[in-house]
Amino acid sequence: MTGKVGVIGLGNMGFHMACNLLKKGSGGVVGFDVAQQALERLRAEGGTTASSPAELAEQCDTVLTMLPNNDHVRTAYLGDEGVLKTLAKGSLCIDSSTIDPIVARALADEVVSKGSTFMDAPVSGGVGGAELGTLTFMVGAKPEEFSRCEPILSLMGKSTVHCGDIGTGQVAKLCNNLVLGISMLGVSEAMNLGSRLGIDRKVLAGIMNTSTARCWSSDTYNPAPGVMEGVPSARDYENGFGSALMLKDLGLVADAAKKIGAPIPMGENAHALYQIMVAQGYGSKDFGIAFKFLGGTDSDEETRGPL
Amino acid sequence: MTGKVGVIGLGNMGFHMACNLLKKGSGGVVGFDVAQQALERLRAEGGTTASSPAELAEQCDTVLTMLPNNDHVRTAYLGDEGVLKTLAKGSLCIDSSTIDPIVARALADEVVSKGSTFMDAPVSGGVGGAELGTLTFMVGAKPEEFSRCEPILSLMGKSTVHCGDIGTGQVAKLCNNLVLGISMLGVSEAMNLGSRLGIDRKVLAGIMNTSTARCWSSDTYNPAPGVMEGVPSARDYENGFGSALMLKDLGLVADAAKKIGAPIPMGENAHALYQIMVAQGYGSKDFGIAFKFLGGTDSDEETRGPL
Amino acid sequence: MTGKVGVIGLGNMGFHMACNLLKKGSGGVVGFDVAQQALERLRAEGGTTASSPAELAEQCDTVLTMLPNNDHVRTAYLGDEGVLKTLAKGSLCIDSSTIDPIVARALADEVVSKGSTFMDAPVSGGVGGAELGTLTFMVGAKPEEFSRCEPILSLMGKSTVHCGDIGTGQVAKLCNNLVLGISMLGVSEAMNLGSRLGIDRKVLAGIMNTSTARCWSSDTYNPAPGVMEGVPSARDYENGFGSALMLKDLGLVADAAKKIGAPIPMGENAHALYQIMVAQGYGSKDFGIAFKFLGGTDSDEETRGPL
Amino acid sequence: MTGKVGVIGLGNMGFHMACNLLKKGSGGVVGFDVAQQALERLRAEGGTTASSPAELAEQCDTVLTMLPNNDHVRTAYLGDEGVLKTLAKGSLCIDSSTIDPIVARALADEVVSKGSTFMDAPVSGGVGGAELGTLTFMVGAKPEEFSRCEPILSLMGKSTVHCGDIGTGQVAKLCNNLVLGISMLGVSEAMNLGSRLGIDRKVLAGIMNTSTARCWSSDTYNPAPGVMEGVPSARDYENGFGSALMLKDLGLVADAAKKIGAPIPMGENAHALYQIMVAQGYGSKDFGIAFKFLGGTDSDEETRGPL
């Protein structure tokens, strides 16, 4: 059993993570969020709440942050009422937000200078994984400290991967999503092209999935309607990983790549395309909406022409 | 046992395919190539040769073409000394070249108008697969005719997939390679970025391969040196699938997409990047050379900086 | 005064060019088009018509073609009823279509082998210029033959530029439109970005037009509504140079670049973006519609936010 | 005559600007830079120096900053020893650095809250213009305050343009350079393509410069060797506007575009291409080096092939 855990950021992800901590045996949860409603929701589940990150940190030896962006995370730790104002030496800070790895490292330096431990632990698995407690955590932590996160993270996820030193959790998350955004666009282009050239889209997906085009975007999450059941493309791209979220992650990738001078031509092109999709109003649709954006139709019948 | 098979195009691929036909029980092979040396090489293996496609077609009821591009294939069938000058009614023509599916269909119309059968059957598996007889054939054929190709193709490959009507074999091949070229570039960008941001490249590949970035370019053919053994990136990108060949396939994809008005923004970007690589002299290197082109190094040690 | 001129292709451009030949002193015009209506329209203006390119060529010592694409031009000259079936030795063939320069050269070889002269002479100036007789002709011709085109072209245009040997007229046209498509997209991005960041779009255009961003797309044909009068962006992008035509030209550029291995990364990106615009239904709108496609608004007032 | 002017940032640009202030009649210059050498150089020209921005601001009623990036500017004003620690009410702060307009506005708010005036005034004209005092200043300033900058800026430049409210100077600079980077790449692609297709590059440039491809990158700064004298392409791309600087500006554009959600697909592609060029070692070469990067040669003779 862990001690009391402070959870900062009680949105779609953080609320479910806090609930799992409450249900599965942590020593209690103290929550903080800027939205009053979020605090009430946590209290209804048996948690307590604090009026600031600083007040929260006074009561906990572990702090978990799950926030939308760099600035929110920095403010939560370093702000006038931030965690570092009150955090006891020897505490453990875990940031599960997806942020810039370079920002994560700078933040880690501040936490370490106060005598505590920092780990970045962004997640995959989405809101569904947060609710079911089946998230995967990609953890950047000093080798000798890594084991400290497992008792807590195991209450919220099914898998905890040590990626390397501080910051590498974010690096792994961003690199993964860079490939994901690019391959989703590639599969969308191929499925639309193939369908219009007259191949049955299920047959095409079947061939690609057993050949060198094989990838998660094709075999597990195919963006062309009619290929798979139970995926966003089968429900008008609702309840998936929103294009606006993919855009945000590709933006973080671009920021990090720019800082170290790594060229990502396909990544920048993917970012630009998702930016156009969001500007055209597709932000809340699953990122497989790229198939529709490129002119893809609901079925082969609609596209088969004279060819 | 099949009848005599005419093989037009005795290059790296066609020669080995003809040898397998000879060894594994076809009723003999008649070869044609514009290079005299290629004809001699076939005769040394026990085949006979003809002085033109027309002369070849007179002797065979099955014709197999394995040629570099649209124009070669068109000339082989429709030229002044082409197959159609002499082909007997009821013959079977199989084109295993990788060409434009729209060109393949137009060619099929000509063959059909002479009372014979045409199938497009491009391959995957490369020169190695051609030699070992383990190619995969992606076949576009009329449903009622498909079974005719199997006795012959099974002598040269391990798998024959019916993709749909005539032309869809080429469609499947091109769509597959479109995704392949895009995902290889995506994986190259991510591996270089991650390595420079300080994550161990083996660890990064391991995470991507069990997450949503999973793809053949990452888990089977990773382009970053130090991740896998026995792949081109482990031997300075030698003896792989050349960048110039990937460029050619992406060019065919672009042609087909243009003809039907299907947007392929990532595909065009991939084509442009491989064109730059070829212009810079990387044409004969495996297409994973993209990793080096983007600044990737031979090992993590060389890239790890202060970050 | 010239002899009789045959005009093949009596569409929006060719019809007006034929009329100017009739009005301004050629020795008569014989027209051909696959559309009967087009033939009647020419007869109403005083021209005569032929039932095939071959019949037309019998009556004329100069043949002018103004057709939509490579295949139309090839058929007009080389088809079963093509110009070369009847063309008298010593005749002059001028192709004002915009086609692949490599196709133009191959065609020239055929014409020359019949003892006649070929020149490529694509135009700029659009339908308006064709009607007013103010076109610019970019002419590829042998130096010793160039002067032969001037008496005829001067009846239809205000300027005739000798670009070099056969084919270079097409090269000049394509290179010009490559830069044009790219700079229009660049100006569209900048005008939208600037407007959203709070600068008055007229002020922004004024600064760019006197600085290093200066270009025709900005100072003569600005795509942002509210900057200029009398341009397509001031009339909802009607009556301009259609996106579908820009797409066609960028496609020809891509074909030519591919054949000689010249990388055009920005050109391919421009092609992909115009392909998406056309797929989304903007094909007949002026190519400045890129501004709207990228989220541009009708006026600064609509975009100015808190920034 | 102005009062004493403090100049923070005495690099290639700032030093020359300070010298012009000294020579042309300001009431003296106090300089600050982190490099001691830079301070000595200014003292040799008759200026005085301070040991921190705060110490500098105590002595001046006008402060001019000319620094490499967002962080340097923020630190100069807001740091522990920053300008705002000592700045007298009613002072004038002019930032001539090229930075993110959103950062500029946030900084302006801080300066205004101390009772002083802030203007952003990035420049065009380069080191040469700084030395000769012929810079153009693009100024973002409140309308009622704009006139205050003119007496000072006129000592260093030939033109001062009021772009609108605070931040719009940066907006104008970034939008201009966005178009510039894109059009330079477009011209580079066209010049290389045309040269390889057999048109004389001087003839091609001449045609483009009188047609719709006309732009500064073509008619004033053509990147193909052999077209113009006295430009970087005529001296192996030395002493021009470095690719690394263009990359930096395109990076700022991308940041600003991302913050407000404006798609810049061509801009991101340009950024990616310049990032590759810099990674390949071309950072200090003029940004016209794109022509060489794409395979361009020193003269038409080297590229003219069989076409």
Q: For residues A138 and A157, give the distance between their C-alpha atoms in angstroms, rounded to a whole number.
A: 11
pLDDT digits (tens, 9 = 90+) for A34-74: 999 999 999 999 999 999 999 999 999 999 999 999 999 99
Does residue C63 carry a pLDDT above 80? yes
Residues of B in contact with C273 (CB under 8 A): 265
d(CA D193, CA C176): 11
Inside any domain, residue B307: no
Q: Return d(Cα B307, Cα B286) in angstroms, integer.
A: 31
Claim to verify: residue A152 and residue A233 sit in the same structural domain = no
* D272 Cα to chain B: minimum distance (Å): 10
- Inter-chain contact C175–D190, Cβ cutoff 8 Å? yes
- The answer to which of A41-50, A121-130, A187-196, D259-268 has the lowest mean pLDDT is A121-130
The CATH number assigned to the domain holding B261 equals 1.10.1040.10
Domain identity same for C65 and C177: no
Q: Count Cβ neighbours within 10 Å for each residue of C10-34 and write b for 16 or more, e otherwise.
A: beebbbbbbbbbbeeebebbbbbbe
Cβ within 8 Å of residue A260, ≥6 positions away? B193, B196, B197, B305, B307
Do B132 and B183 lie in a common domain? no
Q: Alpha-carbon distance D132 to D271, whole Å?
A: 31
A3 and A27 in contact (C-beta within 8 Å)? yes
User: Which of D24, D85, D173, D248 is labelled catalytic?
Assistant: D173
pLDDT for residue A301? 79
Which pLDDT value is given to residue D307? 47
Using the 3D structure, point to which of C166, C187, C203 is the last residue of a domain: C166
CB-CB under 8 Å, B262 with A295: yes
- Asked if the Cβ–Cβ distance from B280 to D269 is below 8 Å, we say no
Any domain includes B21: yes
Residue D182 contacts residue D151 (beta carbons within 8 Å): no
Average model confidence (pLDDT) for chain B?
95
CA dist., res. A196 & res. A175, Å (int): 32
Question: Is C302 at the interface with chain A, CB within 8 A?
Answer: no
Contacts of residue B271 in chain C, CB cutoff 8 Å? Answer: 268
Do the Cβ atoms of C211 and D124 come closer than 8 Å? yes
Q: Is B203 on the interface with C (CB under 8 A)?
A: no
- In this structure, are C135 and C231 located in the same domain? no
Same domain for C153 and C18, yes or no, is yes
Contacts of D275 in chain A (CB under 8 A): 257-258, 261-265
What residue of B is the nearest CA neighbor of A305?
Answer: B260
Which residues from A are below 8 Å from B294, CB to CB? Answer: 262-265
Q: How far is A103 from chain B (nearest CA, A)?
A: 11
What are the tens digits of pLDDT across the range C186-198?
999 999 999 999 9
Mutation target among B103, B109, B179 for the A interface, most CBs of A within 10 A: B179
Name chain D contacts of A261, Cβ cutoff 8 Å: 275, 278-279
pLDDT tens per residue across span B218-244: 999 999 999 999 999 999 999 999 999
Q: What is the ipTM of this complex?
A: 0.94
CA distance B137 to C208: 56
Measured in Å, how far apart are chain A's first and last C-alpha atoms? 65
Residues in chain B with CB shorter than 8 Å from the CB of D290 are none
Q: Which residues in chain A have their CB less than 8 angstroms from residue D279's CB?
A: 261-263
Residue A3 binned pLDDT confidence (cut-offs 50, 70, 90): confident
Task: Tell me the catalytic residues of C.
Answer: 173
**Closest-CA distance of chain C to residue A295, Å:** 6
Task: Indicate the residue of D269, D279, D294 with minimum beta-carbon distance to B276.
Answer: D294
Last residue of a domain, one of D135, D165, D195: D165
Residue A260 Cα, gap to closest chain D Cα (Å): 10
Mind listing the pLDDT tens digit for each residue in D48-81? 999 999 999 999 999 999 999 999 999 999 999 9
Average pLDDT along chain C: 95
Categorize the per-residue pLDDT at A303 as very low, low, confident or very high, splitting at 50, 70 and 90: low
- Which parts of chain A fold into alpha helices (H)? 12-23, 36-44, 53-58, 70-78, 101-113, 126-132, 150-153, 168-197, 201-209, 216-219, 243-260, 265-279, 290-293, 300-303
Residues D111, D211, single domain; the answer is no
For residue D142, list its beta bridge partners. none
Residue B307 has pLDDT above 80, yes or no: no
Residue B176 lies in a domain: yes
Interface with chain B: mutation pick from D268, D269, D276, highest number of B CBs within 10 Å: D276
Structure tokens at A118: 């920092």
| CB-nearest partner of B264 from C257, C272, C278 | C272
Which residue, among D258, D269, D274, would best test binding to A if mutated, counting the most A CBs under 10 Å from its CB? D258
Q: What is the pLDDT of residue A126?
A: 87
| Cβ within 8 Å, pair C273-B265 | yes
Write the DSSP symbol of residue D40.
H
Residue B162 and residue B189 in one domain? no
First to last CA, chain C: 65
Q: How far is A50 from chain B (nearest CA, A)?
A: 35
* Integer Cα distance of D200 and C142 in angstroms: 14
Contact criterion met (CB < 8 Å) for B180 and A213 = yes
The answer to whether A261 contacts D276, with C-beta atoms less than 8 Å apart, is: no
Q: How many domains does chain A have?
A: 2
Amino acid (1-letter code) at residue D159: S
Between CA A217 and CA D302 the distance in angstroms is 45
As a whole number, mean pLDDT of residues C82-108 equals: 96
CB pair distance less than 8 Å for B279 and D295: yes
Crossing angle (nearest 10°) for helices A168-197 and B168-197: 170
For residues A182-199, average pLDDT: 97
Residues D146 and D277 in one domain: no
pLDDT in tens, A258-271: 999 999 999 999 99
Among all residues of chain A, which has the CA nearest to that of D272?
Answer: A265
Minimum CA–CA partner of A268 in chain C: C269
**Tens digits of residue pLDDT in C144-181:** 999 999 999 999 999 999 999 999 999 999 999 999 99
Q: What local confidence, expressed as pLDDT, does residue D306 receive?
A: 45
Domain final residue pick, A165, A184, A214: A165
Strand D123-124, strand D135-140: pairing: antiparallel
Task: Give the CATH number for residue D150.
Answer: 3.40.50.720
C36 burial via Cβ count (<10 Å: 0-12, 13-18, 19+): exposed
Active site residues of A: 173
Q: How confident is the model at residue D26 (pLDDT cuts 50, 70, 90)?
A: confident
For the stretch B120-155, pLDDT in tens is 999 998 888 999 999 999 999 999 999 999 999 999
Residue D137 has pLDDT above 60, yes or no: yes
| Residue of A243, A252, A253, A258 best to disrupt the D interface, most CBs of D under 10 A | A258
Whether residue D160 sits in one domain with residue D28: yes
* Cβ-proximal residues to B174 (8 Å cutoff; 6+ apart), any chain: A193, B98, B101, B249, B252, B253, B256
Question: C267, D189: Cβ pair inside 8 Å?
Answer: yes
- Cβ burial of D134 (10 Å; 0-12, 13-18, 19+) is middle
What residue numbers bound the domain in which D87 lies?
Answer: 5-165
Which residues 84-123 of D are in CB contact (within 8 Å) with C?
Answer: 101-102, 105
Q: Are residues A141 and A247 in the same domain?
A: no
Q: Which two tokens stand for residue D98?
A: 């090229």
**Cβ partners under 8 Å of residue B22, min gap 6:** B28, B29, B45, B46, B47
Model pLDDT, residue A235: 97
B248 inside 8 A of chain C by CB: no
Residues of A in contact with D273 (CB under 8 A): 265
Q: What is the pLDDT of residue C306?
A: 45
Q: Are residues B160 and B182 in the same domain?
A: no
| D157 and D27 co-located in one domain | yes
Q: Of how many residues is chain D composed?
A: 307
pLDDT tops 60 at residue B20: yes
Question: Given a cut of 70, is residue B109 above it in pLDDT?
Answer: yes
Tokens of B123: 């391959």
- pLDDT reading at A169 higher than 50: yes
The nearest alpha carbon in chain A to D248 belongs to A258
Chain C residues touching D261 at Cβ < 8 A: 295
Nearest residue to D101 (alpha-carbon basis) of D52, D153, D156, D138:
D138
Q: Is B173 a catalytic residue?
A: yes
B204 assigned to some structural domain: yes
Helix axes A168-197, B243-260, angle to 10 degrees: 50
User: pLDDT value at position B303?
Assistant: 66
Q: Which pLDDT belongs to residue A304?
A: 54
Q: Helices A243-260 and B168-197: crossing angle, nearest 10°?
A: 50
Does residue A295 sit at the B interface (CB-CB below 8 Å)?
yes
Contact C198, C304 (CB under 8 A): yes
Q: Is the pLDDT of residue A110 over 60?
A: yes
Q: How confident is the model at residue D3, as a pLDDT?
A: 86
